[in-house]
Amino acid sequence: MKIRPARLQHGDTVGLVNLSSPLNIESLGDKLAILDELGLKYKLGNTIQSYDGYLAGTDEERLEDFHQMIRDPEVKAVFLVKGGYGISRIIDKISYPLIEDNPKIIWGYSDITTLHTQVNEFSNVVTFHGPMLSGPEGELDPLSKKMFQQLFQPIEIQYTESISPLRTLVSGVVRGELTGGNLNRLVSTLGTKFEIDVRNKIVLIEDIGESIEQIDLSLNQLRLSRKLELAAGFVIGDFNMLSSKYNYDDVLNVIEGYIKPLNKPAVAGFKFGHCEPNIAIPLGVEAILDADDKTLRILPGVE
């Protein structure tokens, strides 16, 4: 069983770092406002304003910024404030024993998928696939904001069609640990020491800005590497900013073609990832996916 980090208390301090693409500093106010609303204090990492070309600082700077927040006893959670690209460059340099010895809430999505999968596996710690403190247009929508409450008390999340319309791709019921996230980032681990482990797990998949051909290519890579057949089930999220030539149903038809022959329960239409609302989901915890009833029940992510 994975280690669940301690829940937050009002007045706790969270650390804000950026391990990927540079942050537009003008958007920082939006990100800090929600922390104020939650009653949290914060420490800004050195990478919040760092630039090194297309990265938020050098590899060494980003690595040290993250390690410093993990070591700091005052910091109770580490929020990643930007996605983009960059974490894969330091994934082999992160001290996973340090994280296991100091289990804290780690929160973010998109490029952070690479960090989630490795912390879950090598540090044995639950992490959170959640929004970057602000939405694409600024302030988060109310439902996305509400998801931060799972950090303050152990809450079992129940995702039903009351949140968004869902579509059963493959029927059945399965229980397993949640893993996954951004499709592109999952595929980028294949053939490396940090290849995602999906055995008997329920895999989350979402992406943004990819062509239908690229999505097909990524799914085929997962098929050829046996990741699809080893998984227990699939939770399909949003695929935003697709070419106007294709729509979400076209993407689901491609996905269905790959996973239907496997007869693994699969449901699509979940609002997590590059969309609003962006429902935050703990990774590394047990969940039950009922594809017939179209529900996903997730155990709490904090102690």
Per residue in 128-155, pLDDT (tens digit) is 999 988 666 667 889 999 999 999 999 9
Mean pLDDT of the chain: 95
**Cα 270 to Cα 104: distance, rounded to the nearest angstrom:** 26
For residues 256-278, average pLDDT:
96
Cβ within 8 Å of residue 132, ≥6 positions away:
31, 79, 80, 81, 82, 83, 108, 109, 110
Say yes or no to pLDDT of 161 above 80. Answer: yes
Return the pLDDT at 242.
66
The pTM (predicted TM-score) of the whole model is 0.96
Return the pLDDT at 137.
62
For residues 161-179, average pLDDT:
98
pLDDT tens sequence across 103-136: 999 999 999 999 999 999 999 999 999 998 866 6
**Cα 97 to Cα 101: distance, rounded to the nearest angstrom:** 6
Return the pLDDT at 26.
76
Return the pLDDT at 52.
82
pLDDT tens sequence across 51-70: 888 999 999 999 999 999 99
Q: What positions carry a catalytic annotation? A: 110, 206, 274
3-class secondary structure per residue, 188-209? HCCCCCCCCCCCCEEEEEEEEC
Domains with residue ranges and CATH for the chain: 13-151 (3.40.50.10740), 157-298 (3.50.30.60)
Say yes or no to pLDDT of 241 above 80. Answer: no
Half-sphere exposure in the Cβ direction for 1 (13 Å, CA): 10
pLDDT tens sequence across 193-237: 999 999 999 999 999 999 999 999 999 999 999 999 999 999 999
